[in-house]
Amino acid sequence: MPDLFKPWTIGDVTFRNRIFVSPMCQYSADDGYPNDWHFVHLGSRAVGGAGLVMMEATAVTPEGRITPGDLGIWSDDHVAEFKRNADFIHAQGGAAGVQLAHAGRKASCAAPWVDGGRALTADEGAWQTVAPSAIPFSDNAPTPHALTADEMQEIVDAFVAAARRADAAGMDMIEVHGAHGYLLHEFVSPLSNQRTDEYGGSLENRCRFPLEVVRAVRAVWPENKPLFYRVSASDWEDGGWDIDQTVQLAQWLKAEGVDVLDCSGGGNTPSAKIPVGPGYQTEFAARVRRETGLATGAVGMITEPVQAEHIVHSGQADCVLLARELLRDPYFPLRAAAELHGDDNQAPPVQYARAFT
């Protein structure tokens, strides 16, 4: 059996294969609620055979949304619609998960297809953004409010409440979003964190707040369910966050009970020069896994079954998280199983079987 299709068990959760649906924002929710668009979008990937279908960046507070169309789980009223999605994913044999997020200074924006995702105007319902320091993301972005210690604790509490709701919704795993220039990434990077208190300056201080979030979430998230953390392993900017600092953060996250580090990159500055190409971020996952022993997920321009199999088989990562390729082809796992001679647990749904014989 190809390594890509070997089941993987963490706690009491077994993923049927190592092909995971990366969180992909759809900017199509209404007041945080998943709707029919999300049900069909996520359900298609479950039918397509993914081992894990992870719901997109889901805000833990209304102010933590990137756009007004983001998913949210700041209210108990949201739980039923998340459970509807989880139940369908389970019925197709997949594991269900959700990424918990706060957008920080990159919040209060229009959807990306509206003038490139520009900042909302007051007439459009713009809200005050927050960050570790009052440094705007770009020249055209609003200046965020620098969080106080009390406000940071409120955000920790919001992550905790969101984790409890995700459990109530039947999610098998959660991922804390610490990447792509959103709030937790803003704290760890010296480009966006210029605080002079215990949350700024040294690497240990800059990582303090994300670790407090993880510690609090792990305390309420069931021990038998996996906890992932998504990191941007590099800012791709001189003087910014880099892979060396990521390795240290990974060691600290492992000690706090994180099971998998989902290794992405970039997003914290608009000027980053990112060398995009096939598998361009895979080495991040490989180095973290090699130097810390923490399980990792690889992302970034993974488009072919043999490429995905090589990443897992060679030990660069324990799983691959696909985004754009799964937008193009929701049935990538079934295609990969056929190309790589996967086993019977990747048989198509019986309703589709005649197309695969």
Q: Which domain does 132 fall in, by range?
A: 8-39+54-274+284-295
Q: What is the pLDDT of residues 80-92, one digit of tens each?
A: 999 999 999 999 9
State residue 191's pLDDT score.
98
The per-residue pLDDT for range 325-337, each reduced to its tens digit, is 999 999 999 999 9
Rounded to two decimals, the pTM is 0.97
* Span 90-118, pLDDT tens digits: 999 999 999 999 999 999 999 999 999 99
The predicted structure's pLDDT at residue 48: 97
Phi and psi at residue 117, to the nearest 5°:
80, 35
The predicted pLDDT at position 341 comes to 82
- Asked whether residue 356 carries a pLDDT value surpassing 90, the answer given is no
Does the pLDDT of residue 344 top 80, yes or no? no
Domain membership flag for residue 244: yes
Instruction: Please confirm, yes or no, whether 331 is among the known catalytic residues.
Output: no
Is pLDDT at 143 greater than 80 in this prediction? yes
- Residue 96 covered by a domain: yes
Average predicted confidence (pLDDT) for the chain: 97
Give 273-312 pLDDT, tens digit per residue.
999 999 999 999 999 999 999 999 999 999 999 999 999 9
* CATH number of the domain residue 78 falls in: 3.20.20.70
Give the pLDDT confidence score for residue 271 in this predicted structure: 93
Q: Please, is 245 exposed, middle or buried when counting C-beta atoms within 10 Å of its C-beta (0-12, 13-18, 19+)?
A: buried
Beta-sheet strands, E only, within the chain: 8-10, 13-15, 19-21, 52-59, 71-72, 95-101, 130-131, 145-146, 173-178, 227-232, 260-264, 295-298, 319-322
Choose the catalytic residue: 182, 199, 229, 331: 182
Alpha carbon distance 264, 275 (integer Å): 13
pLDDT tens per residue across span 25-62 = 999 999 999 999 999 999 999 999 999 999 999 999 99
Per the structure, the count of domains in the chain is 1
Tell me which of 205 and 347 has the higher pLDDT. Answer: 205
How would you label 10-49 residue by residue, b for 16+ Cβ within 10 Å and e otherwise? beebebbbbbbbbbbbbbbbeebbbeeebeebbbbbbbbb
Asked whether residue 342 carries a pLDDT value surpassing 80, the answer given is no
According to the model, what pLDDT value does residue 345 have? 67
Q: Would the pLDDT of 248 be above 70?
A: yes
